[in-house]
């Protein structure tokens, strides 16, 4: 599973905040990725499965439990962590 974080912000601030994050960070200064995913407010989390299908949008901040549940919902069947 790959996770992309689209951020419409100052690239320096994003690098400072997410530079050491263990996930790829997509800089989206003009908002084009946000618009392509039909973004409607920030923060916005888009859960996309391994086939590239958007499975859910979650508007607003997420806690660790919600993120884990969203990730489990998009795991490929038969993966070591899927149930």
| 31-83 per-position pLDDT tens digit | 888 888 888 887 888 888 888 888 888 888 888 888 888 888 888 877 666 55
pTM: 0.66
pLDDT of residue 35: 86
- Phi and psi at residue 45, to the nearest 5°: -110, 130
Q: Which residues of 68-77 are buried (b: 16+ CB within 10 A; e: fewer)?
A: eebeeebeee
């Amino acid at each position: 599973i790959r996770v992309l974080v689209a951020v419409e912000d100052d690239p320096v601030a994003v690098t400072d905040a997410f530079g050491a994050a263990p996930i790829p960070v997509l800089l989206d200064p003009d908002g084009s990725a946000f618009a392509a995913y039909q973004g409607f407010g920030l923060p916005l989390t888009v859960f996309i499965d391994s086939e590239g299908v958007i499975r859910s949008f979650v508007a607003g901040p997420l806690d660790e439990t919600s993120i884990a549940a969203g990730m489990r919902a998009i795991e490929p069947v038969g993966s070591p962590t899927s149930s």
